[in-house]
Amino acid sequence: MARLFLAVWPPERVVDQLRALPRPPLSGVRWTGADQWHVTLRFFGEAEPDEAEAAARGLRAAAGEVALGPTTARLGRSVLALPARGLDELAAAVADVTRSVGRPPDQRPFLGHLTVARLRRGAAPVDPLDLEAHWTVGSVALVESRLLPTGAAYRTLTEVPLRSDGTAVAGEDGEPGDAHRRHGQRGVDDRDDERGGDEVEREDAL
């Protein structure tokens, strides 16, 4: 068993745009980094990786276009994020095909977003950040998150490429890309704060 989620990683050119955003040191504000920037499609919790991968490879969804931005918004009290539009159909297809894996899919409407900062109670005000980016999603990544005292370690276990005809490519790990370069990198898991921290992390599969 492992702590798993399915996600979309932004391409390197979008990562470069995110890196260029101003991230001043502010009391109670923890900025996320490049190894943490993703859009979660489905959070499984504890699940068998082989089972999750097999289910994901049954995905029937076409490659789609993501529109990120144009400005950050607060999600609940503790998350500052950029909206990520265009993934609703893909997220619904993922939820349907992986329904038997891990915890039941969230019944609330999908809210695509990319977290740029986490805010502690009483954090200093953060000015809105503006960014607009678009990219085509050609694959979804099955990611393992290992909780550590200093955060969580992310590891992309496999990618499921999507084809223009709306079918997943069975039995392939996808071509090397931005998500593959994140193998073994450290990050802060979007559900880490279920241990008693960020409220929004329990509300949305960030």
pLDDT tens, residue by residue, 157-200 = 999 998 756 556 654 443 334 444 454 454 444 444 333 233 33
Q: In this structure, what DSSP letter does residue 124 have?
A: P
Q: 152 pLDDT band (50/70/90 cuts)?
A: low
pLDDT of residue 58: 92
pLDDT, tens digit (0-9, with 9 covering 90-100), for 120-145 = 999 999 999 999 999 999 999 999 98
Q: In this structure, what DSSP letter does residue 180 have?
A: G
**In 28-64, which positions are buried (b, 16+ CB within 10 angstroms) versus exposed (e)?**
ebebbbbbbbbbbbbbbbebebebbbebbbebebeeb
How many Å apart are CA 126 and CA 117, to the nearest integer? 10
pLDDT of residue 182: 52
pLDDT of residue 170: 55
pLDDT of residue 186: 43
Q: Which CATH number fits domain 2-203: 3.90.1140.10, 3.20.20.70, 3.90.1170.50, 1.10.3720.10?
A: 3.90.1140.10
How many Å apart are CA 152 and CA 39, to the nearest integer? 16
Mean pLDDT of 73-91: 95
How many Å apart are CA 40 and CA 95, to the nearest integer? 12
pLDDT at 87 over 50: yes
pLDDT, tens digit (0-9, with 9 covering 90-100), for 10-64 = 999 999 999 999 999 999 999 988 888 999 999 999 999 999 999 999 998 888 8
List the chain domain ranges: 2-203
State whether residue 182 is helix, strand or coil.
Answer: helix
How many Å apart are CA 95 and CA 61, to the nearest integer? 12
Sign (positive or negative) of CA dihedral 62, 67, 72, 74: negative
